[in-house]
Amino acid sequence: MPYTVPKLDDFSPAALDAAGRDLLAAVRQEAEAVSGENDYKNFRDRWMARKNGVLTQINDLWLKAAPGPAKRDVGARVNQLKTEVEQIVEKRRLWVLAPTITAEHPGIEIPAQDWERYIKDAQLLGQKIDITLPGIRRPMGAEHPVIRTMNEVIGVFRAMGYSVAEGPEVETDYFNFEALNFPPNHPARDTQDTLFVAGQEKKAQRDRLLLRTHTSPVQIRAMLDTPPPIRVVAPGKVHRADTADATHSPVFHQVEGLAVDTNITFSDLKGTLDHAMKSLFGSSMKTRFFPSFFPFTEPSADVSITCFKCGGKGCRLCKMSGWIELLGCGMVDPNVFKFVESNGYDSQKISGFAFGMGVERITMLKYGIDDIQLFYQGDVRFLEQFA
């Protein structure tokens, strides 16, 4: 006899449990009797049809008829029964489909728990595909303007024979400061706005970890790895405790360079940077050097280039001076060589120069961008301009 939903007079938990067991036993028995696709459709409609299916009937005869205090408990039990019935019906659907899939793919042995996934895959593979239709193309991304500029700078120096060196962003105090002629308590350390890793108080100061404030530590590591002569550029990300605004960011990029050999002079430094600036900004570009201070170079200089917007005549970009300050440089201080003299860096026999530039600053000047934060906001409308 087909299962008929009974009317309930008793809505106690025990009576509901008994009615639920009878319903589940009936659906399982009817599911076992399903032997083909037509049987399955009738079985599915009998239990899950919206108008007069068994699940609809228990909602009307049990839940709606339940007295107010019992409705909550009856509703929970009815929902649980619906879930179990739906699972039983779905399992029977897979059982009905299994012979068809097995016949199309003889010899397969698939665990019961994997049938659903396998059948869905097989149905998808069985769809006809028109191979003459154009494929779905993913839109090509664009190189980020900061990375593009950094690669351009690196390319200029690679063409002059420099190799590229990289190092860790989490550095020790020794490589970030001490080996670069920043002794402990040196006032120049304060200008670096350093971010220190917490929990380092028990370590010796030179072993404490921090986020590198410049890529200069890479130069020390390069000299420890390679005896002179050496010519390297060190690009990378650096970190400082700066408050973010239109011209400052706690994360930015630098490209630093180092050249060490016998008889390296300040004239070599000037010629190298003048050639690099002309390669980056055009052959009409001029450079100007004026005194500055950096603990790891002596003498030190800041470098300005001709304003490429007004050609040196004076405008708002260059503050009517005709020049734009772009980078710092200098001759490597002999004290720095003492930290790497074990690898052949004798300050009595060799000399060298170093330089460093902020990539974001060059990018902003090159593309006329007035807010450094635009580089890090991920706004596609801004970035697609560089595609």
Q: Residues 130-151: pLDDT tens digits?
A: 677 777 777 777 789 999 999 9
98 and 43 both lie in a single domain: yes
Residues 161 and 227 in one domain: yes
Residue 82 has pLDDT above 60, yes or no: yes
pLDDT classification of 168: cutoffs 50, 70, 90: very high
Q: Is residue 237 part of a domain?
A: yes
91 part of a folded domain: yes
Q: What is the pLDDT of residue 384?
A: 84
Domain boundary among 92, 125, 158: 125
Using a cut of 0.85, tell me whether the model's pTM lies above it: no
Mean pLDDT of 78-82: 89
What is the pLDDT, as a whole number, of residue 118? Answer: 58
Provide the pLDDT for residue 381. 86
Residue at 241 is within a domain: yes
> CATH number, domain at 310?
3.30.930.10
CA distances (Å), origin 284, targets 278, 287, 305, 362:
7, 10, 10, 17
pLDDT in tens, 334-373: 999 999 999 999 999 999 999 999 999 899 888 888 889 9
Task: Using the predicted structure, report yes or no on whether residue 382 has a pLDDT greater than 70.
Answer: yes
> Does 218 map to a domain?
yes
Q: Total structural domains in the chain?
A: 2
Confidence check: pLDDT of 258 > 80: yes
Do the domain assignments include residue 1? no
Q: Does 130 map to a domain?
A: no
Percent over 90 (pLDDT), the chain? 42
> Residue 320 pLDDT > 90, yes or no?
no
Residues 19 and 110 in one domain: yes
Beta bridge partners of 357: 255, 327
Are 355 and 284 members of one domain? yes
163 with 109, same domain: the answer is: no
Are both 48 and 110 inside the same structural domain?
yes
Specify whether 151 is located in the same domain as 98.
Answer: no
Query: Would you say residue 140 lies in a domain?
Result: no
Cis amide bond preceding 187, omega within 30 = no
Q: Which of 332, 324, 325, 323 is nearest to 355 (CA)?
A: 332
Same domain, 101 and 46: yes
Q: Are residues 164 and 293 in the same domain?
A: yes
234 and 309 share one domain:
yes
Can you point out the beta strands (E) in 155-307?
Answer: 163-164, 170-172, 195-196, 209-211, 230-239, 251-261, 287-294, 297-306
192 alpha-carbon distance from chain centroid:
26
The per-residue pLDDT for 128 is 63
Q: Do residues 292 and 328 make contact, with C-beta atoms less than 8 angstroms apart? A: yes
Band of the pLDDT at 121, cuts 50, 70, 90?
A: low
Q: What is the pLDDT of residues 291-304, one digit of tens each?
A: 999 999 999 999 99
Q: Could you report the per-residue pLDDT of 170-226, keeping only the tens digit for each?
A: 999 999 999 999 888 877 777 668 899 999 888 998 999 999 999 999 999 999 999
Cβ neighbors of 138 (< 8 A, separation 6 or more) are none
Using the predicted structure, report yes or no on whether residue 322 has a pLDDT greater than 90: no
Same domain assignment for residues 117 and 207: no
At which of 125, 157, 175 does a domain end? 125
Looking at per-residue pLDDT, the higher value among 241 and 112 belongs to 241
Tell me, yes or no, whether 303 and 249 share the same domain: yes
Domain that holds residue 81: 13-125
C-alpha of 343 from chain center: 38
**For residue 119, is it within any domain?**
yes
